[in-house]
């Protein structure tokens, strides 16, 4: 198996584990559609099969790329657009994983190039993704401030109204939410419990407390976003996925999220990245 094939395998594994995790308040799981009426677990499996094929090509592109990392953005994005197009064909127009495609294209492009030169570390992957997307917020989001509001998408309005840079800012900054919160919580909980599902839930709760989740804001407003952060913080203080009191709090979050149409999709994408970097750290070094 080539290094880029192994990277795409770990990426696919991480995405499958994320969507298979249950419970996940507001999100699709094998037992719930969460706050979504247009998608379910099986649709995510179909979509992930597309991503699995596409991610191999992205990893291989990075492995073979001879230019500097900032120069990789264009070619990697072309691959991402092709993956996205196929995703929409398979899902019949439903946006299951568009943000995830951007995120993993940046991670795998950088990781592919790193793997050509030997060892791949999770921190180097984050730094590479940051280099690939250097300046992306200034180039792509800042100009929105001068455009007419009627021309903006719901996601673009989140930046204009609240200054939230979402997944672009997270990747350009080197995935601080993952490195500082998601990965330690996943790793420590897995060491404590040996349970991947509980560890994923614990990491997701932690990510909800720190991620600029524009998906929440665009669906339910800035007030809901602030409530989500506080609720997740309280549940973690009660032990989160590792205690009955914490799990009772998760159940309350599930009910509240569905009632308010809240879906922490940005946090879910970064949970997939968390597990990917964990597997890289523990299986490739």
272 Cβ contact list (under 8 Å, min separation 6)? 11, 14, 15, 17, 18, 100, 103, 104
- Paired with 32 in beta bridges are 29
Q: Is the dihedral of CA 1, 54, 125, 192 positive or negative?
A: negative
N-terminal to C-terminal alpha carbon distance within the chain: 16
| Average pLDDT value for the chain | 96
Burial 120-143 (b: 16+ CB within 10 A, else e): bebebbbbbbbbbbeebbeeebee
Give pLDDT tens digits for 13-22. Answer: 999 999 999 9
The answer to whether the CB of 62 falls within 8 A of the CB of 71 is no
Amino acid 99: pLDDT: 94
Q: Which two tokens stand for residue 163?
A: 């200054």
CA angle, 119 then 121 then 126, to 5°: 135
In the predicted structure, residue 248 carries a pLDDT above the cut 90 = yes
For residue 182, give the DSSP letter. I
CA gap 53, 155 in Å, rounded: 28
Confidence grade of residue 153 (pLDDT, cut at 50, 70, 90):
confident
- Paired with 29 in beta bridges are 32
Give the max Cα distance, the chain.
53
In the predicted structure, residue 285 carries a pLDDT above the cut 70 = no
Amino acid 85: pLDDT: 98
Q: Give the mean pLDDT of 24-50.
A: 97
In the predicted structure, residue 169 carries a pLDDT above the cut 70 = yes
In the predicted structure, residue 208 carries a pLDDT above the cut 80 = yes
Q: Which two tokens stand for residue 235?
A: 């549940």
Helix (H, G, I), strand (E, B) or coil at 29: strand
Give pLDDT tens digits for 93-136. Answer: 999 999 999 999 999 999 999 998 877 999 999 999 999 999 99
Instruction: Find the range with the poorest average confidence among 111-120, 156-165, 243-252.
Output: 111-120
Confidence grade of residue 1 (pLDDT, cut at 50, 70, 90):
confident
pTM across the whole model: 0.97
The answer to whether the CB of 51 falls within 8 A of the CB of 101 is yes
Q: Give the mean pLDDT of 228-233.
A: 98
Amino acid 151: pLDDT: 85
User: What DSSP string runs through 15-71?
Assistant: HHHHHH-S--TTS-BTTB-TT-SS--HHHHHHHHHHHHHHHHHHHHHHHH--S-GGG
More confident residue, 150 or 197: 197
Percent of the chain beyond pLDDT 70?
Answer: 100
Instruction: Give the residue among 149, 36, 21, 30 at the shortest CA–CA distance from 95.
Output: 36
Residue 29 has φ and ψ, to the nearest 5°, of: -135, 175
Amino acid 119: pLDDT: 78
């Amino acid at each position: 198996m080539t290094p880029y094939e192994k990277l795409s395998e770990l990426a696919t594994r991480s995405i499958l584990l994320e969507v298979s995790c249950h419970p996940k308040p507001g999100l699709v799981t094998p037992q719930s559609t969460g706050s979504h009426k247009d998608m379910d677990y099986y649709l995510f499996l179909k979509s992930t099969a597309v991503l699995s094929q596409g991610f191999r090509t992205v990893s291989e592109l990075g492995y073979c790329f001879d230019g500097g990392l900032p120069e990789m953005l264009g070619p990697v994005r072309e691959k991402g657009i092709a993956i996205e197009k196929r995703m929409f064909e398979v899902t019949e127009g439903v946006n299951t994983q568009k943000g995830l495609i951007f995120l993993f294209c940046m991670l795998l492009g950088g990781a592919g190039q790193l793997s050509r030169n030997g060892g791949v570390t999770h921190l180097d992957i984050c730094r590479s993704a940051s280099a690939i997307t250097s300046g992306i917020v200034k180039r792509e989001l800042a100009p929105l401030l001068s455009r007419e509001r009627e021309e903006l998408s719901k996601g673009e309005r989140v930046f204009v109204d609240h200054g939230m840079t979402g997944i672009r800012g997270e990747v350009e900054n080197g995935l601080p939410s993952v490195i500082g919160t998601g990965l330690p919580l996943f790793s420590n909980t897995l060491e404590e419990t040996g349970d991947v599902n509980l560890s994923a839930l614990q990491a997701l709760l932690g990510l909800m407390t720190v991620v600029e989740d524009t998906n929440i804001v665009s669906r339910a407003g800035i007030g809901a976003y602030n409530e989500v952060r506080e609720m997740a913080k309280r549940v973690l203080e009660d032990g989160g996925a590792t205690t009955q009191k914490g799990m009772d709090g998760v159940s309350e979050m599930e009910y509240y999220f569905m009632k308010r149409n809240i879906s922490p999709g940005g946090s879910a994408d970064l949970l997939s990245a968390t597990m990917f970097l964990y597997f890289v750290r523990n299986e490739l070094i």
